[in-house]
Structure 1
Amino acid sequence: MSARPTRIRTWWPLTRAFARSTSRRTNRSRTVTGPTKQPRIGFVGLGIMGQPMARNALKAGFPITVTNRTLTKADALATAGAAVVKTPREVAQRSDIVVTMVTSSPEVETVTFGPDGIADGAHDRLLVIDMSSISPVATRAFAERAAEKGFKTLDAPVSGGEIGAIEARLSIMVGGDEADVERARPLLEALGKTIVHIGGHGAGQACKLANQIAVAINNLGVSEALVFAAAMGIDLERTRQVIAGGAGSSWAMQNYAPKMLAGDFKPGFMVDHQQKDLRNVLDAAFSAHISLPGTSLAHALYNALQRDGGGREGNLAIIKVIEALSGVEARIRS
């Protein structure tokens, strides 16, 4: 017998619209009072990354409870067997491990410590894994606040984009205590292929920022190579193939270059999110008194892309800035 749809108010402060709940299980929450054979997993944030990650956890056999500021995004997961609730507090009450996957440090703070946040539903077995990409400084502060409220945390940002999330092939960089990492490992192995414990709280986020430096500069290098090839009048696909088979190869050359040449800039990782990460990089570099000229240039070029309305495109769209500067378009027309 199908559940009757109900109208419920979303919990995220920025959204006050009403959304439809797809599961009668949203009507109640219960506090976890002790360990179970299979840990209950919660997800807060069901965007481009959070949605497929929650689905992979469900496929791996974990009982899943989810919430999102727009609850209709949980419909497909509810159909697949996930429980959908209104607030992060309820997710925490129903879970042993909660994953947060949102956009920024302020959003992580809101869903964790704000009204009806995770901390309001915390219990002594709760482990919160923030898999967002945020500031290492904020991450360490959040870990201290969580400890004061009696629950544990890990920071575990990911690399691999939407494709990696869908295929459960993410690289996961983990910061926190070793015992908590091992407790989380079965879940992390359901979400990714490479799981590395980097160090203490904030170390995962610092590693992710190092990753984002390489991503941004790599995207820029691939863009310049393709625009140069176009300006020289040589075959673009043959050029891409031979570079991808040699020392100039990279994930971006293999996966992004074909999309660049096709003019396909749908986001796997949005420019706006790339810029948020690069700002965190440059802030940390300033505090550490180090120079990152390549990162600074990439950040400036992405600023130009945002100015021209490309903030919600994929970060591979940086090629459009190089094309505009050069007066040359690198495209393969079908």
Structure 2
Amino acid sequence: MTTVGFIGLGIMGGPMAANLVSAGFDVVGHNRSRAAVDALVDKGGRAAGTVAEVVRDADVVITMLPDSPDVEDVVLGPGGVLAHARAGLLFIDMSTVRPDVSRAISVAAAEAGVRALDAPVSGGEPAAIEGSLSIMAGGTAADVDAARPVLEVLGDTIVHVGPAGAGQTVKAANQLVVAGNIQLLAEAIVFLDAHGVDAAAAIEVLGGGLAGSTVLSRKAAGMMRRQYTPGFRLALHHKDLGIVTAAARDAGVITPLGAVVAQLVAAMVARGDGGLDHSGLLKLTEELAGLPRAPRT
């Protein structure tokens, strides 16, 4: 039985680790808060109190952490993954971090005899629960092939997109597209409401045409109810758009619409709404239009 160490059991990591247990993997989980580890144990996983315990007997180690510094600390720190890894370990970082961080980890991993992939995901909490994530993998083709038995439990679209760091570059593009789609959907809902149109009927027909998207199908219903329970928090999307902005600047690429959405997300985080789902962009859009509305049920 393949032993998979899983570090980071939050909104995304928890269900992903649980799916690996259900698929028959021996999963050892570690998280900063014990409750998430206990939840994994209840589903048949095993608990680890430290990163060293996760890595000790693992064939594969997966990290799903909030930000670049978290990954750097857990992987490169003195008590981290590489400090305790056996030669030949397959390390898969499924967090969303800066591409340069993934490239640096790949170099350090190779020096330690560890195979490393950056394999961020898209699809949010529902896809993490369903095991239907889209996974964009950076690294060598051989290592991606070796990881497929694990990745195929977690996602139904797994694509090798290039060398180390390429997965994170593609994920940055994904976050740019998602943020833009959510903001335009928010504007469309405000527009429809202002004209007294049945927004639910309108969204149904829009979803069947060229305006249809995964964002529309997964987010519109909650947005029309003004329910912003986080599947992906605005604070994390703010971090991701920072990655996009910096990477675009480094490459000399202009992203004018992306820059506007990044500023809108930043404004929501700055005023204390970072804990809302990223579909909470509707809340700010209504206010900017002078049409604040009470929450709907």
| Alignment-derived partner of residue 134 in structure 1 | 97
Q: Higher Cα Rg: structure 1 or 2?
A: 1
Q: Which runs of 5+ in 2 are unaligned?
A: none
Residue by residue over 1:224-268, the C-alpha shift from the partner in whole angstroms, topping out at 9 and shown as x without a partner, is: 111011111211111111111211111121111110110110111
CA contact (8 A) 1:65 1:94 kept: no
| Alignment-derived partner of residue 312 in structure 1 | 275
Equivalent in 77, 84, 99 of residue 114 of structure 1: 77
Alpha-carbon shift at residue 129 of structure 1 (Å) = 0.1
2:235 maps to a residue whose letter is: D
1:200 maps to a residue whose letter is: P
Taking structure 1 as the reference length, what is the TM-score of the superposition? 0.87
Alpha-carbon shift at residue 306 of structure 1 (Å) = 1.1
Paired residues in the alignment total: 297
| Alignment-derived partner of residue 166 in structure 1 | 129
Which shows bigger deviation, 66-75 or 283-292? 66-75
Q: Distance in 2 between matches of 1:303 and 1:173?
A: 26
1:154 maps to a residue whose letter is: L
Q: Distance in 2 between matches of 1:127 and 1:215?
A: 30
Q: Distance in 2 between matches of 1:76 and 1:328?
A: 42
Equivalent in 288, 295, 298 of residue 251 of structure 2: 288
Which shows bigger deviation, 69-78 or 121-130? 69-78
CA contact (8 A) 2:65 2:95 kept: yes
Q: Distance in 1 between matches of 2:197 and 2:43?
A: 49
Equivalent in 255, 259, 280 of residue 222 of structure 2: 259
Taking structure 2 as the reference length, what is the TM-score of the superposition? 0.97
Alpha-carbon shift at residue 327 of structure 1 (Å) = 1.3
Residue 274 (1) aligns with residue 237 (2):
yes
1:125 maps to a residue whose letter is: G
1:311 maps to a residue whose letter is: G
Alpha-carbon shift at residue 182 of structure 1 (Å) = 0.8
Which shows bigger deviation, 183-192 or 301-310? 301-310
Query: What is the RMSD computed on CA atoms of the aligned residues?
Result: 1.2
CA contact (8 A) 1:227 1:330 kept: no
SS in 2 for 1:69: coil
| Alignment-derived partner of residue 149 in structure 2 | 186
| Alignment-derived partner of residue 64 in structure 2 | 101
| Alignment-derived partner of residue 27 in structure 1 | none
Residue 125 (1) aligns with residue 88 (2):
yes
Q: Distance in 2 between matches of 1:242 and 1:160?
A: 23
Residue 74 (1) aligns with residue 37 (2):
yes
SS in 1 for 2:276: coil
Q: Distance in 2 between matches of 1:309 and 1:245?
A: 36
Q: Distance in 2 between matches of 1:170 and 1:95?
A: 23
Alpha-carbon shift at residue 329 of structure 1 (Å) = 4.5
| Alignment-derived partner of residue 285 in structure 2 | 322
Identity %: 43
Closer, same or farther: CA 330–237 of 1 in aligned 2, 3 Å: farther
1:213 maps to a residue whose letter is: L
CA contact (8 A) 1:236 1:332 kept: no
Q: Distance in 2 between matches of 1:181 and 1:289?
A: 30
| Alignment-derived partner of residue 160 in structure 2 | 197
Q: Distance in 1 between matches of 2:201 and 2:291?
A: 18
Alpha-carbon shift at residue 152 of structure 1 (Å) = 1.3
Residue 236 (1) aligns with residue 199 (2):
yes
Alpha-carbon shift at residue 115 of structure 1 (Å) = 3.0
| Alignment-derived partner of residue 118 in structure 2 | 155
Equivalent in 2, 16, 37 of residue 53 of structure 1: 16
Q: Distance in 2 between matches of 1:218 and 1:333?
A: 22
CA contact (8 A) 2:29 2:45 kept: yes
1:74 maps to a residue whose letter is: V
CA contact (8 A) 2:52 2:80 kept: yes
| Alignment-derived partner of residue 297 in structure 1 | 260
Q: Distance in 2 between matches of 1:297 and 1:154?
A: 32
Closer, same or farther: CA 333–40 of 1 in aligned 2, 3 Å: closer
Q: Distance in 1 between matches of 2:52 and 2:295?
A: 50
